[in-house]
Every structure is written in structure tokens, then in C-alpha cells.
Structure 1
Amino acid sequence: MNLLAALQDIVGTDHVLTGTAAQPYLTDWRGRYTGQALAVVRPGSAEQVAQVVRACVAHQVPMVPQGGNTGLCGGATPDGQGNSVVIALTRLNRVLQVDTADDTITVQAGCTLREVQQAALEADRLFPLSLAAEGSCTIGGNLATNAGGTQVLRYGNTRDLTLGLEVVTADGEIWHGLRGLRKDNTGYDLRDLYIGSEGTLGIITAATLKLYPQPIARCTAMLAFNDMPAAARMLARARKGFGAALTGFELISHYCLDSVTRQFEQLKWPFDESGRQCPWYALLEISDSESVEHARERFEAVVGQAIEDGEVVDAVIAASIAQSNELWHLRESIPLAEKQMGKNIKHDVSIPVSRMADFVEQTNAHLQAAFAGVRHIVFGHLGDGNLHYNVAAPAGSDETAFLRLQPQVHRLVHDSVHAFGGSISAEHGVGQLKKDLLPLYKSDVELALMRRIKRALDPHVLMNPGKVINTADI
């Protein structure tokens, strides 16, 4: 039996897509990567995923796992050879269990992040992972890239929110690891090995995740600063003043905030003229478990003192949940505004917070010296040192010609990241975009260990080839 016939027997004819029906799965959402595939297969259970994997192994056909296809590094897009099968997991979309006694939720990998958040909310619990793409990104993709988001400062990355996994291995076996234990020291931590592996070691089909009590109150403010060091000092002040209640601290450049309000007329500048002229802003939020009054009093005391000391130029404090949502909508609309303005060269980097301001100042200067007139699109999660440092073509110039300079721009920025003791990937993963860059910034020992793990868990070298590490080196 040929492979397509075998796949149809496993999942049904309607869930094996070829030709025009497969096209939406072959291009990433940014339109940066387009590949080809023998077929797109949509299994409806972990057992079907395992059968699909075994069929592909029998025919020695590469597999590309895919969730919501919202990744930024091409990790879920097949290459151009057309010899792979895309395994789309969006039919695995059930919430399996919500356990309020143990504060866990068990979900299939195809659930969108918003669906998981909503299921938690309906049980009066919080699942704190929050991303701009939460309406379309899936938990499987979040796990595959160890996604971060806007509340890492308090709750950690996706890895920190995960207790157990169900995984289909590269041989087509199922590891039933959906344990909700907070402690389990029985050997190697397989869970953490699969999280962040971008589908190169196996396919995550379900997860048991941590839940938290819903906060009684939250306070949100947009703050304006004369420079980035002032924003960093405010972060230190907020850590000291709010402690564990500090949930988010998002850095936004003037260029980003201005772009959002220009691209989306319904979104307005939150500041009057004085605050509107500042080069840097931060979105600050705390979550309080005591009372609304306690949260407000504490919030206004810390922010008010920062204004009095001249650290903050202006502040807009949300007076309601609706106003808080409006401020967050400005932050979350930055990637959409970027997309509408055209393509740019993206960098998802991690820098020690204490060195962030110097990194931005020096890297901006180096870029202007090398590529005069480029525009700096800088925003990110200052609280955990994760910066989205994107570079757009000079206004009015040829965007396509500028994008051809991506290797040189990447090299300049990533060399600077390395010099400041940072990482070239903070939360978006490696995918296709950065796999050739890893040898420049990781040690030979690290890369050798990664290759050994790949060979051990994917002996046929069929799981998402060409992602994270070069298949030719395996």
C-alpha cells in the first residue's frame, strides 16, 4: 500500500489534504516561508498520530508537526523538496480535565491558548500564559517553542507552567506522561526535553498544565520615560515595591506605539502632549490577591513616588478593567501593526536587564553606521530581559532589496547580543530562521550534545528535518 492510501485508512479521506486544499498549511502566517509537501494529514487522536508516524517511518518520509501555524521562525513550515508530510494537530482540540483540587488542566495539543484560558476562567482559575496570537496559536506550538509572553515575570515560560506531557515518539510509540505531580525525581526529565524541541524529537499531543487562583484585583498603567535607563530603574523600583504581585513590565518604543495608533485608528494615544513626546514607554501591571483597594493604594504609592522623583515623566493609570484592556490592546497590536507596515528583519533576543539600555544604544548606532536610515522597532518583556529588536528598511526605500541584507543585519545584531552575554532566541524558537546561526554562538560541546539527543530520540532523522540543527550534521 502506498503512503497516501495508508494515511487515508488511518484518518479518513477527508483529513488527508493534497493540492489546493493543502496550500494554507504550507506557508507561515507572515508569508516568509513557503514549502511543499506530499500531503497534510489531520489526525483526530494521539493514537492516530502514532499510526501516522509509524506509516511515515515505514516509508522513510519526513514529518513536519504543525499547530496554529503562528510561529515566527518557520519551524512549522515544510521545506521545498515536497517529500514530507505535514501533521496538523488542530483536531486534537479537547479540554480533557480541569482539576481545581490540584489546580491543573489537561488539554490536547490542538487547543488554542484562548480556549485553555477560557476553560480555566470558567473554573474560577487562571492559566497565565498570554500572547498576542492567543486566539490562534495552539498549546502544542506554545510547548514546542517554550513560549514566553507577557506574564513570564511572575509565572514563568510555558515550561514552568507544565507538569506532564503526552508525546508520540519518533518511532510511533506513545509516552503517557500526563502526570500532575509537582515533584517527580525518577530519572531524566523527559518533559523538559520535549518542551522547546520544536517537533524535532517527537510530537506533543497533550499536556497537563498548572492553574492559579484568579487575582481579586489588577492594576495597570502606561508609563512614559525620557530614556531606557529610567525604564530599567522603574522596573527595579516595581520589583521592590510590588514583589511577587508584579505581573508584567512591557517595554515599548515611541516608534512602536506611534505605529499602532497610525495603523489602527480606533486605538488612541493614551498620553497628552508631554507624555506623547517621550522615546520610551512601559506597560506595568500588578495582580493582587487581597482587595481592589489594597491593590490601588499600593500601586499609586509606588508609581506616584516614581513620578515625584522624576523617574516617570507621565503615567496613565487604568481606572477600570476596560481601560486596562485598552492599554494592553496597544501592546498586543504591535505585531499586527508591523505586519501591515511591511516586512522587517526580526530578532527575538534575551539580554541581561542591567545591560539592556547599553545594548540598544550601541546596536542602534552600529546598524545606522552600516545601513543608514534603518528604522528600529524595539519592544518586549523588559522584566525578563526578552527584547523584540526588529529592523525595518529606511522609509521610502526598496523593502525587497533591504530584506536581502538579512544575513548581514542578523550577524551584526546577534554578534552584539553575544557580546552582551545574551541569547539569539528568547521565546520564538530556532526553526529554519536561526538553525545556521547556532554554531556561531553555541559551543562545540553544546552542539555535540544536541546532536546526540537528536540521534537517540529520532534515529531515522525524520522529525521536522532542517529545524533547530542541521540534519546534515546528524
Structure 2
Amino acid sequence: MSEHPGKPPLAPDLIERFAAIVGPRNALTDPGLIEAYLQEPRDLFPGHATLVLRPGSVGEVSDILKLASETRTPIVPQGGNTGLVGGQSTRSPGEVLVNLSRLDRVRDVDPLGRTMTLEAGVVLEKAQAVAEEAGLFFPLSLGSQGSCQVGGNLASNAGGTGVLAYGNTRELCLGIEAVLASGEVFHGLRRLKKDNRGYDLRDLLVGSEGTLGIITAAVLKLFPKPAGREVAYVGLGSPRAALDLLKRAERQAGGQLTAFELMPRIGMEFTIRHTQGARDPLDAPHRWYVLIEISSNRSAADARDTLEAILAEAFEAGTVEDAAVAQSLTDAATFWKMREEMSWAQKPEGGSIKHDVAVPVARVADFLEAADRAVLEAMPGARIVAFGHLGDGNIHYNISQPVGADKAAFLSRWKEMNRIVHAIVAEMDGTFSAEHGIGLLKRDELAETKQGVEIKLMRGVKRLFDPYDILNPGKLVQI
């Protein structure tokens, strides 16, 4: 699925001018050194680049974009290179890849105001640790948190397992610093929870995938660290039973319900097969599973009592078939590992056609039933691994190739399977992009499905911020 518009490689004198900004050690031209920056997780968009820049300051990012604006050179910003839709990939040797990993300073932590100000290259796992050291909690949690970076999380408005209680990354951000296409720096690192002075440019930049500006730092919200957190792995018979359990959990726990993840048996089997240390937490197999987490600011006993009350009611109603409550931190980590490794465990099984969709929570079971019927009719033998964040209606509806199928032939049907699944999503007033972004993978579908006035306004915003179309051109929206 790689796209190569054919823009010629950068001229040697232009490479020298860019390299002078960051210094020779941080201007990579050796193909062997560049290669690591060009391969993305799904192997759908292999990059093409002759220059990778690694700026170490906001001033260097500004100078890069001033030169890019002057010379009309396309710039592709990149963080941890964990994106799943090609937003961080260069498409031609005439584009400059700007990797932000060196912008990794913790600028400020304010325990009283419950904020931290981090640069874009800070790895998410480090951000969580910074909050922990301050006796607070940063709730953004993703499977790639050991390598993804704060700037990329903001640029893609990442979701993850904490959305149910805390919201997407946009809801976790109070202020933004970003460099615009002109090289001007937008100084928006505000810590205020209330600020009604006109249009909120922060919210435009968050989720813009580097097409409106390069995010260089952000003020992020912190939360009180839970005094107790309890996790259970639950076996049940269907997504409808899972929805019933969700309703009971929300009624009893309210804001204490901090995660509610749905997983199928086949996903469990893949994870056990391909993940070291993975094990089934329950004694017998079940068709579906839910990982439920309860957090309490009062005590561990309060969290445990709430979780046990939810499970007792669900057992009595016949909603739940079996459940295991984590008895230690090790148990809890094992339970979460089963969920977090489910994405990666599909890769050894061959080709996988991915969908990152969301429908109204009440329609999730309807969606799964309709999509399964349509996919299996079109592709008998397909192995459907549908899992995700049931509490907010976001399902990763992935289709693994039939056993023994040719991988290339299977993947050639990607767009066909997308049309089938996304048509059902549209009928249910859902979205085909819930948390992974648009990038290259979904750009054309976005243009096809947005209302005329909406896509017109989006293109107008892009032209205003980036009149020469040098910031991540061809991604998200084309002008």
C-alpha cells in the first residue's frame, strides 16, 4: 500500500543546509541508518527518504520549517514510529523525515495543579513514571507505551484502555506548544482548566497528525493516584452478556469503573500461542471474555468490595459463566498482558486486515453479529479477532487469514473487507476511525464519507495553517 508520488531526491546543497541546523550527527543520510525510521508496524507503508533530521530543540524545529517553507520542501514529523495508518511514513525521497525523539525533556511537574509539561519525544511509559514519582497518575495507556511518544499520542489523539473513565488524549491535554509551517512557534503551554478566549487552537492541533503543525511540548493533566485497583477476568457467552455486565458495572461503580475490555476466545488462543508467559486465567474456555478494572481513591478494600458486588450480581443473573479476581500485582499484570498482547499475537498467524471502528455502545453486539455474517459470507474460513474497548464502543475488528491461505492474495482483499465492515458501521451511525487516526490508510475514505461542507472546512483549515502543503502532505486530508 505504499504511495510514491515520485518527487525527486533532495539536492545535495539543500541537504547541507538542513544538516547545518541540527549538526552532522543528527542529520542522517546513510541508508543503513535511515532504514529503522522507514519501517512501520504493519509493513503497509515502507518509507522513502534520503534525509532524517533529529532536532534537539524547539529552535531547531523552527529553523527546519523556515527552510522548508522557503524551499517548499515537504516535512514528515515522526515520534516513536508506532502509528498504524501510515501517518508517520515518508512517501518519496524528496520528503524530509523529522524525528522528534531527542525532544525528551520533562520541563515541569506541578503536583498541586496536577499537571506536567513534557516535550514531544518523551516516551509514554516515562510520562507515566513521571506522574508516579509525583504521587499522581497519568491514565493514558497503550500497548505500545514502551516506545510511542507523547507528541505522537497527541498528534493522533490516541485512545487506549483508559478512555472509559478519563477520555482520549485530547481530554488529557491543557496546553500545546507547536511549530507551524512558517517556522513560527505557537506558545500555548497553558495550565488553565478554564480559558474562553476565542477559538481553541490546541484542539485543532491535537489529532491533526502533523498536518497543521509539529507539536513540540504539551501540558498534560494528572489525576490522584488510586488507593486501590482491582482487576477481574470474566468468561461469558456473548457480547450481549458483556453489555449486560457493563450496565451492571456502571450502575454499581460509576466513575470507579476504569476499564472494560472485550475479547474473543480466538484472540485468547492466539495470545497464549505466541506470547511468552501468557496463560488462560480461567479453568475452562469461554466464547468471550471481559477484563474489568475498578479503581478507588478511598482504599483497596473499597475497590475489591465494589468489584465483588458487581460479579456477585452478574453471577446471580446468569450473565457471567466464570471469573477470576487478581490476587496479586503479578496476577493483575498477567491479566492485562493477555489483553495488551492480543494485537501483536495476530501477526504470527499470517495476514491480518485491520479495522478500528466505533459504534454506539448499545449497538456493539448488533455490529459484531452483522459484520461476522457479512465477512464470512465473502470469505469463508476467515478468522475474526474482534476485541477492544467495549465501554466506549471502540472495537478492533481484525480479520486473520484463513488457515493455509496465501498471505498476498488475502491482503489484496483489504479494501473489499473494509467496504463490507465500514458499510455496517455507517448503518449504525458509527465511525471507521476510532483511535488510530487517518494517515494514508483512511485518507480517501475520509474524503468520501465526510459531508461536503465538513471536508471543505477541513481543507480550508489546512490551507490556512499550511498554504504550501509542506506539513505531512497527502495525509489525513488533501488540498
Per-residue CA deviation, residues 132-152 of structure 1 (Å, 9 max, x unaligned), is 000000000000100000010
Q: Which residue of 1 aligns with 2:307?
A: 299
Per-residue CA deviation, residues 75-132 of structure 1 (Å, 9 max, x unaligned), is 00011x3110000000001111110010000000000000000011011010000000
1:176 aligns with 2:226: no
Q: Which residue of 1 aligns with 2:67?
A: 55
Amino acid at match of 1:108: E
Unmatched tracts of structure 2, length 5 or more: 1-11
Deviation of the 1:341 alpha carbon: 2.4
1:112 aligns with 2:123: yes
Written as runs of structure 1 = structure 2, the 5 A alignment for 1:416-431 is 416-431=424-439
- In 2, are the aligned partners of 1:98 and 1:104 still within 8 Å (CA)? yes
1:225 aligns with 2:232: no
- The structure 1 residue matched to 2:462, chosen from 445, 448, 454, is 454
1:251 aligns with 2:262: yes
Count of aligned positions? 467
- In 1, are the aligned partners of 2:210 and 2:471 still within 8 Å (CA)? yes
Structure 1 window deviating more from structure 2 (289-298 vs 87-96): it is 289-298
Q: Which residue of 2 aligns with 1:156?
A: 167
| Matched position secondary structure for 1:248 | strand
Q: 2: distance between equivalents of 1:413 and 1:445?
A: 25
Q: 2: distance between equivalents of 1:343 and 1:106?
A: 40
Q: Which residue of 2 aligns with 1:146?
A: 157
Unmatched tracts of structure 1, length 5 or more: none
Q: 1: distance between equivalents of 2:66 and 2:32?
A: 26
Q: 2: distance between equivalents of 1:140 and 1:340?
A: 30
Q: 1: distance between equivalents of 2:191 and 2:431?
A: 31
1:72 aligns with 2:84: yes
Per-residue CA deviation, residues 6-54 of structure 1 (Å, 9 max, x unaligned), is 1121100011111221111112122221121231000001110010111
Runs of 4 or more, structure 1, over 4 Å off, are none
Q: 1: distance between equivalents of 2:348 and 2:179?
A: 38
Q: Which residue of 2 aligns with 1:369?
A: 377
Written as runs of structure 1 = structure 2, the 5 A alignment for 1:72-471 is 72-79=84-91, 81-273=92-284, 276=285, 278-470=286-478
| Matched position secondary structure for 2:353 | coil
Amino acid at match of 1:383: G
Amino acid at match of 1:315: A
- The structure 2 residue matched to 1:37, chosen from 46, 49, 64, is 49
- Aligned residues with identical type, % of pairs: 46
Deviation of the 1:265 alpha carbon: 4.4
Amino acid at match of 1:380: G
Q: 2: distance between equivalents of 1:259 and 1:94?
A: 38
- Using structure 1 for the length normalisation, give the TM-score: 0.97
- In 2, are the aligned partners of 1:3 and 1:55 still within 8 Å (CA)? no
Per-residue CA deviation, residues 45-66 of structure 1 (Å, 9 max, x unaligned), is 1110010111111111100000
- In 2, are the aligned partners of 1:3 and 1:56 still within 8 Å (CA)? no
Q: 1: distance between equivalents of 2:245 and 2:277?
A: 29
- In 1, are the aligned partners of 2:175 and 2:219 still within 8 Å (CA)? yes
Deviation of the 1:339 alpha carbon: 2.2
Q: Which residue of 1 aligns with 2:7?
A: none
- In 2, are the aligned partners of 1:113 and 1:134 still within 8 Å (CA)? yes
Deviation of the 1:335 alpha carbon: 1.5
| Matched position secondary structure for 1:437 | helix
Deviation of the 1:2 alpha carbon: 2.5
| Matched position secondary structure for 1:334 | coil
Q: 2: distance between equivalents of 1:35 and 1:324?
A: 38
Amino acid at match of 1:33: F
- In 2, are the aligned partners of 1:418 and 1:441 still within 8 Å (CA)? no
Deviation of the 1:336 alpha carbon: 1.7
- Using structure 2 for the length normalisation, give the TM-score: 0.96
Deviation of the 1:423 alpha carbon: 0.4
| Matched position secondary structure for 2:467 | coil
Per-residue CA deviation, residues 326-361 of structure 1 (Å, 9 max, x unaligned), is 100110111121223233110001111101101110
CA RMSD in angstroms comes to 1.0
Amino acid at match of 1:60: R
Deviation of the 1:464 alpha carbon: 0.3
Q: 2: distance between equivalents of 1:253 and 1:158?
A: 27
Q: 2: distance between equivalents of 1:412 and 1:22?
A: 37
Q: 2: distance between equivalents of 1:465 and 1:339?
A: 30
Q: 1: distance between equivalents of 2:283 and 2:350?
A: 29
Amino acid at match of 1:153: L
Q: 2: distance between equivalents of 1:382 and 1:266?
A: 26
Per-residue CA deviation, residues 127-183 of structure 1 (Å, 9 max, x unaligned), is 000000000000000001000000100000000000000000011110111111001
Q: 2: distance between equivalents of 1:340 and 1:126?
A: 35
Amino acid at match of 1:161: L
Structure 1 window deviating more from structure 2 (59-68 vs 25-34): it is 25-34
Deviation of the 1:206 alpha carbon: 0.2
Structure 1 window deviating more from structure 2 (299-308 vs 380-389): it is 299-308
Amino acid at match of 1:225: L
- In 2, are the aligned partners of 1:30 and 1:339 still within 8 Å (CA)? no
- In 2, are the aligned partners of 1:90 and 1:109 still within 8 Å (CA)? yes
Q: 2: distance between equivalents of 1:73 and 1:446?
A: 22
